[in-house]
Amino acid sequence: MSAKASSNVKIVDCTIRDGGLVNNWDFSVEFVQHLYSSLNEAGVEYMEIGYKNSPKLLKGADSAGPWRFLDDEFLRKVIPQKLNTKLSALVDIGRVDADDVLPREESLLDLIRVACYIQDVDKALELVQLFHDRGYETTLNIMALSNVMEHQLLEAFEQINDSVVDVVYIVDSYGSLLPNDFRLLVEKFKKHLPNKRLGVHTHNNMQLAFANTLISAEYGVELLDASVYGMGRAAGNCPTELLVANLKNSRYSLRPVLDMIEKHMIPLREKEEWGYIIPYMITGMLDEHPRSAMALRNTEDKDKSVEFYDKLTTPEVSFGG
């Protein structure tokens, strides 16, 4: 049974960028090349090939793979021939050096996305303006929306309406939102941002990443973030294969995505961990950042979820009772 969605829907595959948070961006060039040709063959519109933050502005940068600090010259070696799938990079507020950003006609990148928390929307929109002026498509990705107060959001909407940004993202950073929450958020964003296109980025803490993405598409969201086999930080993201298989759109083809999964993702999943895992479910239901669960998963007690749940829900150790 295929899903209703606008014919303008586009998939943004984030396997390398968000998946890099799992393996410290330790993807081989061959892996990334195979992913690019697979996504292109599958008809996926965008591939987010990494972060374009500056290593000068980040601690611990040395150990990370090259996809964490995309360099245009390196990128040209990885993708000697551009295909239909456009390339995207994400930047964080305060971690990007404007001097690193070439004009679009000199870069392989098409889309630059700026991620920020609600209090930094103004700074994010300054960066958006810079990238826009250099010719890129732009998005603003407001993280942790489940923790944003109404008046903050309304203020941000005003700033966004005055900006050049092309697409505004609803980001469920903690994987805490239910289908109804997405429906209400999409309706609110549409009402307050009538001239902006919308995107969603979901997390799979409660096995809702795909459902929330589908429902958002049905309510008019155009850019849908996903990653192959769901690879992404902690519980991971909406699986690309599920969108490709189910969106009512004959331009998508599942077979190349299955090929990528078979050749690369199944072996990778044996070494690295992501997906529906109980401690991530717990941080999701509690509407919290998964960092405590990620720390737990690195210990011998990784499956001791009762104790973990008790810790997170004991009033004495919470703020303010």
Q: Which residues bind a second copy (CB under 8 A)?
A: 1-4, 146, 176-181, 204, 206-212, 214-215, 218, 239, 241-242, 245-246, 254-255, 258-259, 261-262, 266, 276, 278, 281-282, 285, 287, 303-306, 309-310
**Exposure string (b/e) for 49-59, b if CB count within 10 Å is 16 or more?**
bbbbbbbeebe
CB of 182 to a second copy, least distance (A): 10
Asked if 143 and 173 count as a contact pair (C-beta separation under 8 A), the reply is: yes
CB of 294 to a second copy, least distance (A): 18
CB of 161 to a second copy, least distance (A): 26
Which two structure tokens, joined as six digits, stand for 114? 């700026």
Strands (E), 104-159: 111-116, 137-142
Residue 91 φ/ψ, nearest 5 degrees: -125, 150
Please say which residue, 72 or 287, places its beta carbon nearer to a second copy.
287
Please say which residue, 111 or 217, places its beta carbon nearer to a second copy.
217
Please say which residue, 57 or 266, places its beta carbon nearer to a second copy.
266
Give CA 138 to chain center in angstroms.
14
CB of 217 to a second copy, least distance (A): 11
Rounded distance between C-alpha atoms, residue 221 and residue 50, angstroms:
23
Rounded distance between C-alpha atoms, residue 5 and residue 48, angstroms:
22
Please say which residue, 98 or 184, places its beta carbon nearer to a second copy.
184
CB of 162 to a second copy, least distance (A): 30
Rounded distance between C-alpha atoms, residue 49 and residue 51, angstroms:
7
CB of 139 to a second copy, least distance (A): 24
Rounded distance between C-alpha atoms, residue 32 and residue 38, angstroms:
10
CB of 84 to a second copy, least distance (A): 21
Please say which residue, 89 or 214, places its beta carbon nearer to a second copy.
214
Rounded distance between C-alpha atoms, residue 147 and residue 144, angstroms:
6
Handedness of CA 224, 119, 275, 272 (dihedral sign): positive
DSSP 3-state of 11: strand
Q: What 3 state SS string does 59-93 have?
A: CCHHHCCHHHECCHHHHHHHCCCCCCCEEEEEEEC
Please say which residue, 211 or 294, places its beta carbon nearer to a second copy.
211
Please say which residue, 96 or 226, places its beta carbon nearer to a second copy.
226
Going by C-alpha positions, the residue among 41, 38, 47, 51 that lies closest to residue 11 is 47
Please say which residue, 2 or 318, places its beta carbon nearer to a second copy.
2
CB of 13 to a second copy, least distance (A): 17
DSSP 46: E
